[in-house]
Amino acid sequence: MPDQPSRLKLAGISKSFPGVRALDNVTFEVRPGEVHGLLGENGAGKSTLLNTLSAVFKADEGHIEIDGRPVEIRSPLEARAAGIAMIHQELQHVPHLTVAQNMFLGRPLKQASGLLVDRRGQEQRAREVLRDLDPTIDPKTPIRDLKVSQQQVVEIARALLENARVIAMDEPTSSLTPAEFDRLAVLIEQLAARGVSIIYVSHKMDEVFRVCDRATILRDGKFVDTVNMADMNEASIVARMVGREIVHQTHTSHERSDALLEVSDLGREKAVQGATFTLRRGEVLGISGLVGSGRTELLRLIAGIDRPTSGSIRVSGRSLPLHDPRAAIRAGIGLVPEDRKGHGIIRERSVAANMALPSMGRFSRYGLVSHRQRHRVAMKVMEDLRLRPLDVTRPIGKFSGGNQQKAIIGRWIAAGTEILLFDEPTRGIDVGAKSEIYALIERLAQEGKAIVVVSSEMLEIMRVSDRVMVMREGRLVATLERDQISEAAIAAHAIPQSQRSVHDASRPDRQDIIQ
């Protein structure tokens, strides 16, 4: 209701860092029991606003109100005491401690003496809170033994244990399967029904439309609009986020020529078993399957990172030495890894240095690196990929996620790589950058590159692929040609019969959206 009072309001918030005005007079409010999306491209100011809310940063201007009263929050502990909980994309827990110990981390329950921790009391209280969320979680279990989705439930339970009235969720589904997101969506609905206010940050528009009542859109650190989700469609939301209309892209079939990569009976214990396929020039081959089905492990074997227990790989008819990343790079194989920050970049090094990593020999002579030549090549790639800001000396960690991803792809373009392995190429990337990544994959295929794309987003796989291979429990169980590709067909092979539910049948086949 329009006249409903705010549970939380950030009014006129501004925050600057050296050379950057991250937030410029932003006002944001959430009502009791509301699920409110916070949307914008990478760099729009979402994280800065949440960090200001939780007092990780101190705002230069503006103030915070809770239930209509101004409050001063000077530390994350004070934010928690005020009823504000943050659930980060990278979950905050101590792996070797139990569920109950993690839930009481920083504020242990003490025995009557006030000296010793009341572990039994902690476990009992944790069990009471978890009963309504997921009663299968045992408070005595080490949290590292839980699935990511269950660890997330524990984070929510900890927030409820502290009587949180506002819970901010930052990209909560980046590591969840579709079924796990469905369970999270139900849990969010239950929390809202209890009067808890939810701030939901995600780049996945289908999720935002599923769970959010309203959304506030930021662009370049400024407030753009607050909208009712029921009155909007994806195109109108995206246009507000990026300041322009995103042209809808459809799949273009590519002209496939000679076989470039031949994988035969490749395996690594139970992770990958007997993988056999051929990849041709100009082809985009999608690999779909549930999390844990062996998709990433297969790419790592091809890239020479992990040691296989069986099989062979041939590139242009020549056998490739196995478990040898350098040999894979020399053969023209490049991996764009799933964990961009952990495995894809050296954050403190310049974007030029990061781009040169697989081809340093090209820029060095007698052990000395020609920085001028390296910068010249990096500048050409940055201009070609529209990577911003156009500064080859800037540390890559200071670029947005989308620009970091373009730089990783750019390193393989600079190296003249012919076979590109993309593992979750748009994870954590905003819609504008995602559109650019799709266009880049399209262009590389048209140039005759051979491309493999692993993605957990069904529509993404359907959008970019000429063929789709489906993995289940380490095995390639199906290959779908372009005219066979649909969400229902992929799911039918990816999900074991015992795990299929009425939900699968109720999801509409959305093939018409992307063709």
pLDDT at 503: 40
Confidence of residue 330 (pLDDT cuts 50, 70, 90): very high
* 49-108 pLDDT, tens digit each: 999 999 999 999 999 999 999 999 999 889 988 999 988 876 778 888 999 999 998 788
Looking at the structure, tell me whether residues 210 and 89 fall in a common domain: yes
Looking at the structure, tell me whether residues 221 and 348 fall in a common domain: no
* Torsion sign, CA atoms 284, 290, 296, 301: negative
250 belongs to a structural domain: no
Tell me the mean pLDDT in the region 130-134.
84
503 belongs to a structural domain: no
pLDDT at 386: 86
Looking at the structure, tell me whether residues 280 and 385 fall in a common domain: yes
Question: How far is residue 346 from each of residues 217, 341, 343, 419, 436, measured CA to CA in Å?
Answer: 31, 8, 8, 23, 23
Looking at the structure, tell me whether residues 202 and 342 fall in a common domain: no
* 468-486 pLDDT, tens digit each: 999 999 999 999 998 899 8
pTM here is 0.68
264's enclosing H/E stretch is strand 259-268
296 belongs to a structural domain: yes
Looking at the structure, tell me whether residues 122 and 222 fall in a common domain: yes
Buried-exposed string 163-185: b where 16+ CB fall within 10 A, e elsewhere? ebbbbbbbbbbbbbbbbbbebbe
Where does a domain end: 196, 211, 242? Answer: 242
pLDDT at 26: 96
Q: How many domains does the chain have?
A: 2
Looking at the structure, tell me whether residues 217 and 349 fall in a common domain: no
What string of DSSP letters covers 28-46?
Answer: EEE-TT-EEEEE--TTSSH
Here the tokens at position 69 are: 């009263």
What are residue 392's phi and psi, to 5 degrees? -70, -15
Confidence of residue 112 (pLDDT cuts 50, 70, 90): confident
pLDDT at 19: 72
Q: Of 14-23, 133-142, 495-504, where does the model show the most confidence?
A: 133-142
pLDDT at 510: 34
pLDDT at 504: 45
Distance between terminal CA atoms of the chain?
Answer: 39
2 belongs to a structural domain: no
Which residue bears the tokens 């410029």?
A: 24
Distance CA 232, CA 508 (A): 20
pLDDT at 361: 74
pLDDT at 125: 92
* 279-314 pLDDT, tens digit each: 999 999 999 998 789 999 999 999 999 999 999 999
Determine if the peptide bond prior to 308 is cis (ω within 30°): no
Confidence of residue 513 (pLDDT cuts 50, 70, 90): very low
* 430-441 pLDDT, tens digit each: 777 788 899 999
476 belongs to a structural domain: yes
Here the tokens at position 313 are: 């790989």
pLDDT at residue 490 tops 70: yes
- Domain holding 132, by residue range, is 8-242
Tell me the mean pLDDT in the region 264-271.
95
Looking at the structure, tell me whether residues 381 and 483 fall in a common domain: yes
505 belongs to a structural domain: no
| Higher per-residue pLDDT: 440 or 110 | 440
52 belongs to a structural domain: yes
| Side chain identity, residue 179 | A
Confidence of residue 1 (pLDDT cuts 50, 70, 90): very low
Confidence of residue 252 (pLDDT cuts 50, 70, 90): low
Helix (H, G, I), strand (E, B) or coil at 249: coil
Distance CA 214, CA 191 (A): 16
pLDDT at residue 275 tops 60: yes
Tell me the mean pLDDT in the region 351-370.
79
| Higher per-residue pLDDT: 60 or 147 | 60
pLDDT at 67: 92
Tell me the mean pLDDT in the region 417-437.
87
Tell me the mean pLDDT in the region 411-440.
89
pLDDT at 12: 95
Tell me the mean pLDDT in the region 220-227.
93
Looking at the structure, tell me whether residues 218 and 320 fall in a common domain: no
What string of DSSP letters covers 461-510?
Answer: HHHH-SEEEEEETTEEEEEEEGGG--HHHHHHHHS-GGG--HHHHHSPP-
Looking at the structure, tell me whether residues 355 and 393 fall in a common domain: yes
Distance CA 229, CA 269 (A): 47
Looking at the structure, tell me whether residues 131 and 279 fall in a common domain: no
Confidence of residue 342 (pLDDT cuts 50, 70, 90): confident
* 361-388 pLDDT, tens digit each: 777 676 676 778 888 899 999 999 888 8
pLDDT at 253: 64
Buried-exposed string 22-44: b where 16+ CB fall within 10 A, e elsewhere? bbbebebbbbbbbbbbbbbbbbb
Looking at the structure, tell me whether residues 331 and 223 fall in a common domain: no
**What one-character DSSP code corresponds to residue 146?**
S
Distance CA 502, CA 123 (A): 35
Looking at the structure, tell me whether residues 329 and 384 fall in a common domain: yes
**CATH number, residue 104:** 3.40.50.300
pLDDT at 64: 95
Confidence of residue 244 (pLDDT cuts 50, 70, 90): low
pLDDT at residue 17 tops 90: no
pLDDT at residue 505 tops 60: no
Tell me the mean pLDDT in the region 454-474.
91
Q: Are 76 and 32 in contact (CB under 8 A)?
A: no
pLDDT at 259: 92
What are residue 162's phi and psi, to 5 degrees? -90, 10
438 belongs to a structural domain: yes
